[in-house]
Structure 1
């Protein structure tokens, strides 16, 4: 199949300028995969009004064009990571890129809304593969001492995709219509496939008799649990109505059954004992918390800028673009800092910056308006990128090769769950703090809601900082008694 083309050697086998160039091309293919999966999320949002008009549908109906994509990613991201560990990460990444590209073409050619929603769910499956295995393949594509820089680059490309989506989508819709926001992925997907096929190291697989089995029951239960939770956080705009409570109850039940099944499985999807590892457990918890905080900037920011500061739609878009732009610019320097100063220290530095930025968002905009908002974002966003690069490096650097896919999936899942939870929970805190309907609230109540929301965000980041300090202490204790050379995960 995809293995007919000889691939480059792994980084520990490559040498000289040829090996370095090959690693750069491999990293380029992984970066483009991350860019496309991120772009697939952000570019569709701007097209919702056009889709509602084209299909004579309500906003709630066309919103499933976005939700189907996000649900597919959240539900399947751990599963595809495990599949990559079993059948080969290069092979599965190529299949994921191909699936993403073909489903993008189907989305652009859709004749009705159900077909478009189906195509977007398939595209989300491809994106889940690309997001998870791009991170998992870093250990195969680059030298270990450059892991931080590679993770920083992937973070940069994710931010570029997020920042580029709304503006690129607007231009494409204005010039070519809504179908162009999906069809633009086709040539880019073809390029990503070609780069990955030619540059990624060949899969190193054990003999078929030694390969672990695939945990079907655990996979189905985890998918059910994640889908129920994601729907509970997104339907009915995050309110705690009967449907949301029923979905949350189903998610809790599914999680309990999943734990029972995994304890008895011969080849579990997730080895529960790995969650006792202080670095992995802390990394997942911190990733969820900080992603919840970052989602608050996207949920609360537009209301504050428009209703409290009185900015027009164009200026709101410009100010809101500052965060993704700063993320894109700070990703690479953050990764290099991780390589030079070490991941544990830079996790702490990133979280301190995020806490300062969150509390600054609670205070400075009220004092200095737009300038205060931008100043706070210039602290919060680089802190987030620094944390991401350091945390991803700390979790992934010493993972056993046969577990990189599933651990990468868990890390990406923690981020996605944080984003989904942040959209609901932080939005609910903002609505509660305004004490009235946000859409009709006056400038003063919106400002009060902003202050309360980001004070809570700052407390969440302090919680993540305490987790980091405890994890560091536990890891140091474990190192004193661990066997030399033993992998952590």
Structure 2
């Protein structure tokens, strides 16, 4: 028996020629690109408002449309990757995303930009679940924690690099280049993935289209209702949309429980407590990433009169700490209890975000703002990578694709709800201070009168309490982590692909 297994392992190793680390870096390039696009728009908000004659709510829809189109299909695209090959679905997603980026940059109206972002989000939904599923399959258990730490750290760094890159591009080349920049990256990513990512074995699947419809329509109704609620004065039809969306999501869960063939979300995944907790934690981080940039960038450009690049540099300390600590935290992931790592991360992030929110006034110290960003960056470094590494560690290998799809979907759901909620909160606080919601660099900027600067800053400060509160939710959740069953030790539920790598 051992000789048969050895022969199979040798055959997989020779035919597949799996080199996991080069494959990983090819995958994270595309993953990094699509995550940057979650936040890169935030720094360009005032400019897009001015150039395309858009309101705050419309510009937030530029991100929300992308997030919705990203979140809704991500469960089914994970299964499509298992059926038709994760590598090939990843490559197809890169093509769709890159072409949609060109469309975004060429558009001349806010409505067409939103539509182009929907197509871009569909491409992103094809990419993300494949990265996590491939990593889980090609790395041996002893290396899987480190690989997932790189994947998770990529997500964290992308969330803070997006606004910085966006600021530089908007100032130097124009807002269109926050999308055009994806084109060369997408081409390079395609070539690297084609050459370095292995084509793994595929599996037959039945597809839960009813589940896709229920979850997609339900999520859209909830997000649309929340984001448009304040603007529509919470009319009866808006409340009806939200209630209808919640009911459809409840029906979705019931259908998943009753579906005896192959449900979109195998509810058995959630019997693993660490998987459940990780999904709560990553939902929180999705909400934070989608919500914190808008009030901060509007404050910096409208109240302080900073350029897009100067505004984006406020995020630089956060990005630096996430990058510096990524390797250190990755090394801790296989050695320390996840509760210890992530409770520190959420506590530090809450302290940093809370102090940042309290400092958003016209005359606040730039040094203190940067120190708050440092603390947030430290906290985030202890969240992103360990959460990703812990999420699927206890799952059997045959559920790796489904688990990664659910994990990525919940992160995107958090982003959708966070984006919608921050739009409502900013509009509500501006209205409470008797301010319009259509500020742009020309109407505000450095010339905003003191009598308007104070209430505008207060509005953004109060809005920043949303991401601060989300960190509290995450802190409470991670206290329920258990010690992983498989802490990355060699020999734990190794697949043939992973075993081949272990002996390579």
What TM-score comes out, normalization by structure 1 length? 0.78
Shift in Å, 1:417: 2.6
Q: Count the aligned residue pairs.
A: 462
| Higher RCO (CA < 8 A, seq sep 6+) | 2
Does the aligned pair in 1 maintain the 2:86–2:200 contact within 8 Å?
yes
Shift in Å, 1:72: 0.6
Match of 2:282 in 1: 287
- 1:18-77 per-position Cα deviation (integer Å, ceiling 9, x unaligned): 96xx22211111111112102333444556677677777777666654443222112222
Match of 2:296 in 1: 301
Match of 1:91 in 2: 88
Q: Which moved more, 1:366-375 or 1:127-136?
A: 366-375
In structure 2, C-alpha distance between the alignment counterparts of 1:151 and 1:470, rounded to whole Å: 21
Structure 1 pair 239–180 and aligned structure 2 pair: CA distance change class (3 A):
same
In structure 1, C-alpha distance between the alignment counterparts of 2:273 and 2:178, rounded to whole Å: 42
Shift in Å, 1:218: 0.8
Match of 2:201 in 1: 204
1:258 aligns with 2:252: yes
In structure 1, C-alpha distance between the alignment counterparts of 2:252 and 2:33, rounded to whole Å: 31
Does the aligned pair in 1 maintain the 2:315–2:373 contact within 8 Å?
no
Shift in Å, 1:272: 2.0
Unaligned runs of 5+ in 2: 1-7, 437-450, 495-504
Does the aligned pair in 2 maintain the 1:10–1:141 contact within 8 Å?
no
Structure 1 pair 171–364 and aligned structure 2 pair: CA distance change class (3 A):
closer
Does the aligned pair in 2 maintain the 1:75–1:223 contact within 8 Å?
yes
Match of 1:215 in 2: 208
1:402 aligns with 2:414: no
Does the aligned pair in 1 maintain the 2:295–2:463 contact within 8 Å?
no
Does the aligned pair in 2 maintain the 1:300–1:427 contact within 8 Å?
no
Match of 1:330 in 2: 325
Match of 1:468 in 2: 478
Match of 1:450 in 2: 461
Does the aligned pair in 2 maintain the 1:347–1:390 contact within 8 Å?
yes
In structure 2, C-alpha distance between the alignment counterparts of 1:332 and 1:238, rounded to whole Å: 44
Does the aligned pair in 1 maintain the 2:269–2:395 contact within 8 Å?
no
In structure 2, C-alpha distance between the alignment counterparts of 1:174 and 1:363, rounded to whole Å: 28
- 1:228-285 per-position Cα deviation (integer Å, ceiling 9, x unaligned): 2222233356776225423211211211221232223221111123223211221112
Structure 1 pair 337–12 and aligned structure 2 pair: CA distance change class (3 A):
farther
Please identify which structure carries the higher helix content: 1
Unaligned runs of 5+ in 1: 1-8
1:248 aligns with 2:242: yes
After superposition, the CA RMSD in angstroms is 4.1
1:80 paired residue among 54, 61, 77 = 77
Structure 1 pair 11–334 and aligned structure 2 pair: CA distance change class (3 A):
farther
Match of 2:499 in 1: none
- After superposition, where does 1:117-196 map in structure 2 within 5 Å? 117-166=114-163, 168-169=165-166, 172=169, 179-196=176-193
What TM-score comes out, normalization by structure 2 length? 0.76
Shift in Å, 1:223: 1.1
Does the aligned pair in 1 maintain the 2:167–2:312 contact within 8 Å?
no
Secondary structure at the aligned position of 1:341 is classed as coil
Match of 2:407 in 1: 411
Shift in Å, 1:448: 9.1
Match of 1:381 in 2: 377
In structure 1, C-alpha distance between the alignment counterparts of 2:59 and 2:364, rounded to whole Å: 38
Does the aligned pair in 2 maintain the 1:11–1:142 contact within 8 Å?
no
Does the aligned pair in 2 maintain the 1:140–1:201 contact within 8 Å?
no
Does the aligned pair in 2 maintain the 1:151–1:392 contact within 8 Å?
yes
Does the aligned pair in 2 maintain the 1:343–1:393 contact within 8 Å?
no
Shift in Å, 1:150: 2.8
Q: Which moved more, 1:54-63 or 1:194-203?
A: 54-63
Match of 2:23 in 1: 26
Does the aligned pair in 1 maintain the 2:338–2:481 contact within 8 Å?
no
Does the aligned pair in 2 maintain the 1:306–1:312 contact within 8 Å?
yes
Shift in Å, 1:193: 1.4
Secondary structure at the aligned position of 1:470 is classed as coil
Does the aligned pair in 2 maintain the 1:431–1:449 contact within 8 Å?
no
Shift in Å, 1:169: 4.5
